[in-house]
Structure 1
Amino acid sequence: MPTEPRVDERPRAATVPETYQETLRRLRAAQKPAGRGAPAYSVYVNRRLGRFIAAAAYRAGLTPNQVTAISATLTFAAVLLLALVPPTFWLGLAVTVLLAAGYAFDSADGQLARLRGGGSAAGEWLDHVVDAIKSSTLHAAVLITAYRFLVPTDQRTWLLVPLGFMAVAAVSFSVFLLNDLLKAARAGRDTTSVIRTGSTPLRSLAGAPTDYGVLVFVFLLLGAPAAFAVVYTLLFAAHLGYLLLALPKWFRDMRALDPAA
């Protein structure tokens, strides 16, 4: 008669869960290089904060899209506060903390995707859509609060500054994304495989005025409207100057991708 299959009665080795520090080390090893000229706060502060968040999110079982949703919630809460609440020091502190936290979670979603074995096209799309909305609505909120609370009637020409900043942010984001897409298309790769050459500390510091992380901390000056207006205007000038200087260089880079050139 057929015999019943025997059960292996040998004790099985217990599966030891990965510790938080081990997750961090694994994530650090999978970290992709920073973009060429990536500004200092984004490289040396925000990316590290994102790594801590990504490791915690991984252990909590969160998905990259859920982390992106948290980033969007924090960021757009700050945008709404900025547009609707009269500016004070405490409002500036709240806006800064929310924007900085949202930026850290924005860095964490991609790192979490790498921990989980790679991202998806839908996840990358969602991340870029949130970034695109953020890049314009933040300056729209500055425009609204300046009109409602900060700028006297006889100085309304200053409102052109956040309006211009909104345009520069939208154009810059679109061009950065388009550069990667065209390079990936010519190389026959997906966009997630466009690996940047590493940034140097000197190049990162030179790009500090165009760093989103620097812009975030300008909102600490909301309680001092004159100082806020001056620093915000200087940052706008830096972003505009960087874009005008970079556009010809990027155009040459695109021409170099075309064999017919």
Structure 2
Amino acid sequence: MNRYQVATAELASSQKSGAGVPAYLRWVNRGLGRRAAAVAYVAGLSPNAVTLISGMLSVGGMVVLVFLPMSALSAVAAMVLFLAGYALDSADGQLARLTNRGSIAGEWLDHVVDSLRLPLVHLAIALCLWRAGLPDWSVVVALLFLVLSSSWFFAQTLAGKLSAKAADDGSAAEGTPDWVSFAKIPYDVGTLYVVVAALAYPPLFLVLYTGLFVVTAAVAAASLRRKYRALLAEQRDYAPEN
């Protein structure tokens, strides 16, 4: 076998459990990320370089939405760029495990890129809708989605630092049935990127995008409540720093 085949085989054997993970991430994105990680390995790229390329692809999708006329071609181009960036977002961690080059600094860089990516995608969508003259309420939904995605990401990250129990939603528990992965499709970020293609037909996009916002808001509210209750239960063991 050549180096690419060896790398993909090794990555496949060490793949994270997919139990409870959203369907697109579980069955599509991780597989694409595995192949991208193998290509990066053959090319001699570092995990940090893959992280930065992932971010640049996402920025490319935003540029398409903000500056090109709304059309089927631009909508599909933006979707492809976003999905490619998402695949590389999975590839950097897999490459780090493959090459034993994982680091705290690399994990920090990955989180910084992630913390910027999703809010900026919603900002790009808001600008795209505004520039196309679509209803003001749709721009407001996009801006609210921006705030929601940013605050939920921060809350999840902070909960993970404060308490491993609070960070654990049980989403990756072994034995979780496959239907759970399909139930999570509406708030998988990959679903959002696919929905971007519907900008080719704005009325359909507005229905799908608004639906994603409503579902994501409901799930985020439940998640935040769960994390707060878990942290509250550990309060007596918490000794604040002076």
Query: What TM-score results when the alignment is normalised by the length of structure 2?
Result: 0.89
Q: Distance in 2 between matches of 1:259 and 1:110?
A: 36
The structure-2 alpha-carbon separation of the partners of 1:113 and 1:66, relative to structure 1 and needing over 3 Å to count, comes to same
Aligned residue pairs, count = 234
* SS across alignment from 1:38: coil
What's 2:142 paired with? 162
Q: Does 1:231 align with 2:208?
A: yes
Tell me if the contact between 1:50 and 1:104 (Cα under 8 Å) persists in the aligned partners: yes
Q: Distance in 1 between matches of 2:177 and 2:59?
A: 32
Measured after TM superposition, the shift of residue 254 of structure 1 is: 2.3
What's 2:109 paired with? 126
What's 1:176 paired with? 156
1:125-177 deviations in Å (ceiling 9; x for gaps) = 111111111111111011111111141xxx32332100110011001111221
Tell me if the contact between 2:122 and 2:143 (Cα under 8 Å) persists in the aligned partners: yes
* SS across alignment from 1:32: coil
Q: Which amino acid aligns with 2:14?
A: A
Q: Which amino acid aligns with 1:229?
A: L
Tell me if the contact between 1:139 and 1:166 (Cα under 8 Å) persists in the aligned partners: yes
Q: Which amino acid aligns with 1:30?
A: S
After superposition, residues 90-239 of structure 1 pair within 5 angstroms as 90-151=73-134, 155-184=135-164, 196-198=172-174, 200-239=177-216
What's 2:11 paired with? 27
Residue ranges of structure 2 left out of the alignment (5+ in a row): none
* SS across alignment from 2:163: helix
Moved over 6 A (4+): none
What's 1:60 paired with? 43
Q: Distance in 2 between matches of 1:146 and 1:89?
A: 15
% of aligned pairs identical?
38
After superposition, residues 59-78 of structure 1 pair within 5 angstroms as 59-78=42-61
RMSD, matched Cα: 2.3
Q: Distance in 2 between matches of 1:94 and 1:28?
A: 29
The structure-2 alpha-carbon separation of the partners of 1:28 and 1:257, relative to structure 1 and needing over 3 Å to count, comes to farther
Q: Which amino acid aligns with 1:91?
A: S
Residue ranges of structure 1 left out of the alignment (5+ in a row): 1-16
